[in-house]
Amino acid sequence: MFRRLFLAAAAAAVILPGAAFAQERFITVASTTSTEQSGLFRHILPIFTAETGIAVRVVALGTGQALDVGRRGDADVVFVHDRAAEERFVAEGFGGPRRHVMFNDFVLVGPAADPARINGLRDTNDALRRIAEARAPFVSRGDRSGTHAAELRLWQLAGVDPAAGRGQWYREVGQGMGPALNTAAAQNAYILADRGTWLSFRNRQDLRVLVEGDARLFNQYGVMLVNPQRHAHVKAADGQRFIDWILSPAGQRAIASYQINGEQLFFPNADRPEPTS
Structure confidence at residue 12 (pLDDT): 35
Tens digit of each residue's pLDDT (9 = 90 or more) over 58-116: 999 999 999 999 999 999 999 999 999 999 999 999 999 999 999 999 999 999 999 99
Q: Does domain 2-103+220-268 have CATH number 3.40.190.10?
A: yes
How far apart are alpha carbons 73 and 171 in whole angstroms? 33
* Angstrom distance (rounded) from CA 267 to CA 257: 9
Which of 3.40.50.2300, 1.10.40.50, 3.40.190.10, 1.25.40.10 would CATH assign to domain 105-217? Answer: 3.40.190.10
pLDDT of residue 40: 95
Q: Is 196 helix (H, G, I), strand (E, B) or coil?
A: helix
Burial 56-72 (b: 16+ CB within 10 A, else e): bebbbbbbbbbbbbbbe
- The average pLDDT across 152-179 equals 94
pLDDT tens for each residue of 195-224: 999 998 888 999 999 999 999 999 999 999
Q: Where exactly does CATH 3.40.190.10 map onto the chain?
A: 2-103+220-268, 105-217
